[in-house]
Amino acid sequence: MTALLAALALVALGAVLRAPARLIGLMLALLWAAVVLAHLLLPARAGAAIGGSLRGWLAVGVLALLAAGYRALVGRLRAGALNSVAAAAQQPAASAPFSETELDRYARHIVLREVGGAGQRRLKGARVLVVGAGGLGSPALLYLAAAGVGTLGVIDDDTVSNSNLQRQIIHADARIGMPKVFSAQQALAALNPFVTVHPYHRRLTAGDAPALFADHDLILDGSDNFPTRLIVNAAAVAAGKPLISGAISQWEGQLGLFDPARGAPCYACIFPEAPADGLAPACAEAGVMGALPGVIGAMMAAEAIKEITGAGRSLRGRLLIYDALWGENRTLTLTRREGCAVCGGVHPAR
């Protein structure tokens, strides 16, 4: 017990004198070394008077060493994260587009090793087009804006209705009757004033898709009908732009990243023709669980963030299927279809 009392006395004295934690730790380490040495050199009876056993004190030393190592590792990681934020803040204005408010807003991204300051700058410089401001477009737009994607385009010809509000969370009761793209613009401006939103209140057509797609880096398709999906896919293939496509029905959703310019299949490789009548009914006919588009739309936003920043493994060439009713996920590997009428002539960039 003598050694234990001495250790407690050292800690108490250090607290009274407000000694640095490092100094107190050093004194405790010296005391531990003296106790271990005494147990090794003195007879067993004298060692017992000091307190504890040699094995016990060695175990205490190992635990203390592990705790100190863990604390040092956490300190280094924290210092590295803070240095990353500070470095971004101290860069010249020409290469650092962030204000102090933005640095604080995006700090949780910047400290992620896979994103960092460079990834956040890529998000700010990105231009993403979201087709559809409904069930899938709502969460995708909200999370892309919150993440700091600098320019968001949204195209939709519909207006907000009461029946939308069960799942289309970007809209509000007070905006019933307003075009969805303008309702979305209001919500996004309130969420993040550092993001520019371009609303396009019209239905996407094969005629205006090329110019619109050329002005964006990445396309997200949250449309609710197959003809529009085929138009989106064809335009994305022609523009050489990656396409993140999501779909929902009842309790099940799916999403994938289609990109033949980089070796993956296009949407038409997997779904070359519109399904027969009755096989893929609209949500108004078949119903949809309200939270499902939130799940799939948020996944679409996550895939977009990964695609822009280069983080992790994307869903390029894979189709993720989510069954909300049974809580199951499965992923299918997709390959390009030989002779595809849409992307058959596209050769992947090397």
Residue 97: predicted pLDDT: 72
pLDDT, residue 275, reads 74
**Predicted pLDDT at 304:** 98
Q: Averaged over 220-233, what is the pLDDT?
A: 94
Mean pLDDT confidence for 259-280: 85
pLDDT tens digits for 283-309? 677 889 999 999 999 999 999 999 999
Structural contact between residues 304 and 144, judged by C-beta atoms closer than 8 angstroms? yes
Q: What mean pLDDT is predicted for residues 25-45?
A: 67
- State pLDDT tens for residues 78-87: 655 555 555 5
Which of the pair, 244 or 12, is modelled with greater confidence? Answer: 244
Task: Band the pLDDT of 23: cuts 50, 70, 90.
Answer: low
H/E/C letters for each residue in 149-202?
CCEEEEECCCECCHHHHHCCCCCCHHHCCCEHHHHHHHHHHHHCCCCEEEEECC
Nearest one of 234, 231, 235, 257 to 246, comparing CA atoms: 257
Domain presence at residue 342: no
Domain end (from 68, 90, 112): 90
More confident residue, 200 or 19: 200
Residue 219 dihedral angles phi and psi, to the nearest 5°:
-115, 135
pLDDT at 11 over 60: no
| Residue 35 sits in the same domain as residue 156 | no
Mean pLDDT of the chain: 85
Domain hosting residue 324, numbered range: 126-333
For β-strands 328-333 and 151-155, DSSP reports them as unpaired
CATH of the domain at 281: 3.40.50.720
3-state SS, residue 339: coil
65 inside domain: yes
pLDDT of residue 223: 94
Higher-scoring residue by pLDDT: 73, 200: 200
Residue 74 and residue 8 share a domain? yes
pLDDT for the residue numbered 65: 73
pLDDT at residue 92, rounded to an integer: 43
One domain, residues 149 and 209: yes
259 shares its domain with 317: yes
Residues 159 and 296 in one domain: yes
211 and 161 in a single domain? The answer is yes
Does a structural domain hold residue 203?
yes
How many residues belong to the chain?
350
Question: With a threshold of 0.75, does the pTM exceed it?
Answer: no
- Residue-level pLDDT at 346: 79
What's the pLDDT score for residue 238? 95
57 and 137 assigned to the same domain: no
Residue 133 and residue 270 in one domain: yes
Pairing of strands 218-221, 196-200: unpaired
Q: Do 25 and 160 sit in the same domain of this protein?
A: no
Quickly count: other Cβ atoms within 10 Å of residue 79's Cβ. 10
Task: Spell out a b/e string for 192-201, using b for 16 or more CB atoms within 10 Å of the CB, else e.
Answer: beebebbbbb
Residue pointed to by tokens 């999906």: 229
What's the domain count of the chain?
2
In the predicted structure, residue 2 carries a pLDDT above the cut 70: no
Q: 85 and 132: one domain?
A: no
What pLDDT, on the 0 to 100 scale, is given for residue 89? 47
Tell me, yes or no, whether 18 lies in a domain: yes
- Residues whose CB falls within 8 Å of the CB of residue 253, separated by 6 or more in sequence, listed in order: 246, 247, 292, 293, 295, 296, 321, 322, 324
Residues 209 and 142 in one domain: yes
Angstrom distance (rounded) from CA 15 to CA 3:
19
**Are 188 and 279 part of one and the same domain?**
yes
42-56, 76-90, 217-231: range with highest mean pLDDT: 217-231
Asked, for residue 113, whether it belongs to a domain, the answer is no
Residue 339 has pLDDT above 70, yes or no: yes
Dihedral sign for Cα 173, 148, 265, 298, please. negative
The enclosing H or E element of 146 equals helix 137-147
- H and E: helices and strands count for the chain: 14, 8
Q: Reply yes or no on whether the pLDDT at 156 is more than 70.
A: yes
Q: What is the pLDDT of residue 50?
A: 62
Q: Percent of the chain scored above 70 by pLDDT?
A: 73
